[in-house]
Structure 1
Amino acid sequence: MSRLARPAARLAAGSAALARSLGVRAAAWVARGRRHDLTGWRAALGCWARLALLTLGGYLLWRLVRAVPGVMWLLTGAWMVTAWRAGRPPAEETPANTPQQPGEAVRALLLDLLGDAPAIHLRTVLAYLQEQGQWEGRTVGDLRAHLEALGIPVHPKVKAPGSKAPTRGVRRADLTPAPAVAPASSTTPSTAA
């Protein structure tokens, strides 16, 4: 392996993860435009409007780059920095002096996959893991059992953004730690005189 192979692989993996993340977020944003209080084509007007906004934004960005080619250098630099950070190997994410519990690494991964969404389906998590070359030949049931063994609650009917029907998934509220509650001070009067 040459000297540049490892950084190139990190940039490639980061670029793929960044593109996937942007695609998932854009699709979720478009899907949130659907109105559930309407039916038929009227319910989908919000989705079409958001898709038109994304298309218009892409067109305007293309026109900007065509008019001012120097902007492409800024966009490329920003993409490279973000891809470099996204392509960080898991071993580099935690400092060596602070060991991370297995459940905490899984929680961090789930929170990363959630993005801004309140919930995520297990099939989405499994598909991501298999894209990364992990959990090959395993099922959603295997993933559910693994998460439950780590103390992460799995709900039978979770509605995630961009999905049509609820299915097994994990909610953000179960992954974020509850705020620490200060112990209540004793209000009983002291009997010592």
Structure 2
Amino acid sequence: MNEPTKAQRRARTLVAGQRILVRRLSTRATAWVRAGRRDDLDGVAAILGCILRVAILGGAAYGAWWLVRRWPVILWAAVPLWLWAAVRALDHDEKEATAEEPPPVATRDAVVQLLHEVLGDRPAVHLSEVLEHLQSKGQGKGWKVADLRARLEALGIPVELKVKVGRKGPTRGVLKAALPPLSQPEETEPSTTPSPTV
């Protein structure tokens, strides 16, 4: 079988880069729409923000289509920019693939320990406070409350829909009574390894 020519290699690079770029843009758009959901509301009211964001994206797509139909000359600038972004996306993807391994996933016991630490003497804690605690330690960067909730539920840790803490309104949280008690640590030397992320 003949080796691909230089032009074929470049074409394959552009195709691969465009796939990565489209996937990345789709992921970001989906995350942006999901971030519009209100955890402190129920029913249709909770997803009004998502509906508005979908409408904004639809309007932006229609506006771009209208501009190209009205002034096709825009494509002379848009196409090179798109191809440049595709090549950059491929380079970035390759760098991520060779990056160091992610930190170990936390065990259920480690997460329970973390929750007890944030709870202190209180009977409950909001997930937003747990997330702030994690991010203050450099973990959970870019997470939303929904991301934390999904990880806790995947570990079998119950998340309540409406928890009231102090004067704050009821929202998703964890009850201390629903958590297993902390196990007594064994008498060992303190570990120097970083704590794993949730």
TM-score bracket for this pair, using the shorter chain length? 0.5 to 0.7
1:13 is aligned to 16
- Per-residue deviation, residues 66-110 of structure 1 (Å, max 9, x unmatched): 11111112111110011112223977x59xxxxxxx9x7135xxx
1:106 & 1:51 partners in 2: Cα distance? 36
Which of 94, 101, 105 pairs up with 2:99?
A: 105
Is 2:150 the partner of 1:166? Answer: yes
Q: In 2, Cα distance between the equivalents of 1:22 and 1:88?
A: 16
Residues 17-32 of structure 1 mapped to structure 2, 5 A cutoff? 17-32=20-35
Deviations 1:132-177 (A, max 9, x none): xxxxxxxxxxxxxxx5xxxx132357795576951379xxxx89xx
Gaps of 5+ in 2: 112-139, 156-195
Q: Which has the higher Rg, Structure 1 or Structure 2?
A: 2
Letter in 2 for 1:153: P
TM-score by length of 2: 0.51
Matched, 1:75 2:78: yes
Choose which of 55, 58, 64 in structure 1 pairs with 2:58: 55
Unaligned 5+ segments in structure 1 are 95-101, 108-146, 176-193
Structure 1 CA distance for aligned equivalents of residues 77 and 147 of structure 2: 35
Stretch of structure 1 that moved more, 155-164 or 24-33: 155-164
- Residues paired across the two proteins, number: 119
Q: State the match for 1:154 in structure 2.
A: 105
Identity of aligned residues (%): 34
Q: Distance in 2 between matches of 1:89 and 1:64?
A: 30
C-alpha contact 1:35 1:44 (8 A) present in aligned 2: yes
The CA distance in 1 between the partners of 2:9 and 2:65, in whole Å, is 32
Determine if contact 1:10/1:88 at 8 Å carries over to the other structure. Answer: no
* Matched residue, 1:111: none
Q: Secondary structure at the match of 1:44?
A: helix
- Cα contact 1:11–1:84 (8 A) shared by 2: yes
RMSD after superposition: 3.4
* 1:73–1:45 CA distance, 2 compared to 1 (3 A): same
Kindly indicate whether the alpha-carbon contact (under 8 Å) linking 1:160 and 1:166 is maintained by their aligned counterparts in 2: no
Q: Tell me if structure 2 keeps the 8 A contact 1:32–1:47.
A: yes
